[in-house]
Amino acid sequence: DAKTTQPPSMDCAEGRAANLPCNHSTISGNEYVYWYRQIHSQGPQYIIHGLKNNETNEMASLIITEDRKSSTLILPHATLRDTAVYYCIVPRNQFYFGTGTSLTVIP
Amino acid sequence: GAVVSQHPSRVICKSGTSVKIECRSLDFQATTMFWYRQFPKQSLMLMATSNEGSKATYEQGVEKDKFLINHASLTLSTLTVTSAHPEDSSFYICSAAGLRSYNEQFFGPGTRLTVL
């Protein structure tokens, strides 16, 4: 995997947007950025992935910078159920999970 | 999205016994399955990659004779922890890829193994 760097933890107020950054400065031209999250004691859940254009689905939006060296996952209206560890991954045939960002949504 | 199941969800066994964990892709054929291990408060660690009908590729430091992986079909992979010891107690998670791309993995719910 290309190395990714994420802040270890973040808080977000319920109902507000959660913006989770990821740095992947060594990404190559044809490598995708994937985002997963893991709620305590469960398997990781796929959220979204992208190459260079911004992407949106029913769960989140993914904003990738023009130079592709960083990205931001946006949860538009965070709920308590979004409390989880969020992983940004740039796979090269396998997934190597970093430490991720532990997001806590506060009532 | 695609559904991946694991069985059992929890298992407790005595030291020295073997435990088999099944991973199934329920609604797609998985060309590749992966096995991870996660210790408390740590991230997932890739143990091995397996392709249907061929031998698994193990990550450095993972004992292939202790963690036997069989990938007999495009929907089933098994991990057998042989001669389990308390230090093997962990959360074991499988994933399956191949629905849309090799890099898009769908994860099972995990199996909590406790070795007494």
Judged against a pLDDT cut of 80, whether residue B4 lies above it is answered with yes
* Identity of the residue in B44, B110, B112 whose CB atom sits nearest the CB atom of A97: B44
Question: What is the per-residue pLDDT across B95-106, written as a single tens digit (0 to 9) for each?
Answer: 998 767 767 889
Q: How far apart are CA A29 and CA A22, in angstroms?
A: 17
**Residue A62's beta-bridge partner residues?**
A55, A73
Contact criterion met (CB below 8 Å) for B13 and B21: no
Considering only CA atoms, give the Rg of chain B.
Answer: 13
* Identity of the residue in B43, B44, B103 whose CB atom sits nearest the CB atom of A91: B103
Q: Closest Cα to residue A38, out of B67, B44, B22?
A: B44
Give the three-class secondary structure for A81: helix
Question: What is the per-residue pLDDT across A21-52, written as a single tens digit (0 to 9) for each?
Answer: 999 998 988 899 999 999 988 999 999 999 99
Q: How far apart are CA B109 and CA B116, in angstroms?
A: 23
pLDDT at residue number A2: 62
Q: Closest Cα to residue B71, out of B58, B52, B46?
A: B52
Question: What is the per-residue pLDDT across B32-90, written as a single tens digit (0 to 9) for each?
Answer: 999 999 999 899 999 999 988 888 999 999 999 999 999 888 899 999 999 999 999 99
Give the three-class secondary structure for B96: strand
Which position has the token pair 């993914």? A62
Task: Give the DSSP letter of residue A80.
Answer: G
Which position has the token pair 């904003």? A63
Distance from CA of B93 to the nearest CA of A (A): 6
pLDDT at residue number B89: 97
Contact across the interface for B34 and A34, Cβ inside 8 Å: no
Q: Closest Cα to residue B94, out of B104, B84, B79, B80?
A: B79
N residues, chain A: 107
Q: Any residues with CB less than 8 A from the CB of B55 and at least 6 apart, and which?
A: none
Judged against a pLDDT cut of 70, whether residue A84 lies above it is answered with yes
Q: Closest Cα to residue B46, out of B30, B69, B27?
A: B69
Question: What is the per-residue pLDDT across B5-14, written as a single tens digit (0 to 9) for each?
Answer: 999 999 999 9
Confidence of residue A1 (pLDDT cuts 50, 70, 90): low
Q: What is the mean pLDDT of chain A?
A: 93
Contact criterion met (CB below 8 Å) for A71 and A20: no
Q: Is B87 exposed, middle or buried (0-12, 13-18, 19+ CB in 10 A)?
A: exposed
Q: Any residues with CB less than 8 A from the CB of A32 and at least 6 apart, and which?
A: A49, A50, A51, A90, A91, B103
Distance from CA of B3 to the nearest CA of A (A): 11
